[in-house]
Amino acid sequence: MNENPVALGSEAETSSKTAVKMRGTGVDVFYGDKQALFGVNLDIPENQVIALIGPSGCGKSTFLRCLNRMNDTIDICRVTGEITLDDQNVYDPSVDVVELRARVGMVFQKPNPFPKSIFENVAYGPRIHGLARTRSELEEIAVTSLEKAGLFEEVKDRLHEPGTGLSGGQQQRLCIARAIAVSPEVILMDEPCSALDPIATARVEELIDDLRQNYTIVIVTHSMQQAARVSQRTAMFHLGYLVEEDETDTIFTNPSNPKTQDYITGRYG
């Protein structure tokens, strides 16, 4: 029995309270008459990875797309409630959407490099955002971004070949490099590995873990194991509601909501 209070090799998990980078408060989303999200309150902690999980149609991608106003591109979509980035409402009329999307970058499910060279794919964003004054500055940004995305070594001899010629996993890392190139603060990832093989998936997951040092990451994934591996916090959506949000370790070993339990164990149906 436990009479010994001294833990062996106790590794005190640094559960220090991290700052909130983005915050959703009472977020409702409507597509025409149909309501897709109902009063979602969710904090996105800074320099952490938060995974959004839930069955198809639960609203997790809808919520993700609210964070950088990607839903603005859908005419019938209406968002109410508040979403803040560093305490500023991103839906405020004064917010420049282009600048917002530079601060809150996005990586999609299918790698979608521009039909341009590898270099141009990464240099495009910094150039239009005026982040580089000279050619050498632009090159530096491109190389650094490719390095951070763990791709530079593989492509350094063919920077001027088409990005579309890379393998699927390399293309996805190119898209991540492209997102990093404009120095975002938050990176949104919508099932970034669902089109990749296990090795390419492992490389992207490793990369996500590295990127966490400098960026805040929100990832939508259908792979429970991936959510468990890469995230520190997990939010479970169901039928447009946020049903549970907690530390990832807790969600996957001892969730408190029966819906979460059923979904992650494969009993939801």
State the residues that interact with other proteins by CB under 8 A. 1-2, 224-225, 228, 252-255, 258, 260-262, 264-269
> 80 or 225: whose CB is closer to other proteins?
225
Helices 135-148 and 118-128: crossing angle, nearest 10°? 120
Cβ-count burial of 230 within 10 angstroms (0-12 exposed, 13-18 middle, 19+ buried)?
buried
The owner of tokens 């447009």 is 240
Closest contact distance (angstroms) between CB of 253 and other proteins is: 6
The owner of tokens 């997790």 is 60
Closest contact distance (angstroms) between CB of 208 and other proteins is: 19
> 173 or 229: whose CB is closer to other proteins?
229
Q: 63 near 40, Cβ under 8 Å?
A: yes
> 232 or 257: whose CB is closer to other proteins?
257
Strand partners for 83: 24
Q: 230 near 218, Cβ under 8 Å?
A: no
Q: Describe the strand order of the beta sheet including 34-45 as a list of residue ranges.
A: 34-45, 20-31, 77-85, 88-89
Backbone phi and psi for residue 253, each to the nearest 5 degrees, phi listed first: -110, -30
Cα distance between residue 126 and residue 201, in whole Å: 27
Cβ-count burial of 38 within 10 angstroms (0-12 exposed, 13-18 middle, 19+ buried)?
middle
> 173 or 259: whose CB is closer to other proteins?
259
- Rg of the chain taking only CA atoms, in angstroms: 20
> 164 or 232: whose CB is closer to other proteins?
232
Strand partners for 77: 31
Closest contact distance (angstroms) between CB of 261 and other proteins is: 5
Closest contact distance (angstroms) between CB of 268 and other proteins is: 8
> 51 or 179: whose CB is closer to other proteins?
51
> 130 or 269: whose CB is closer to other proteins?
269
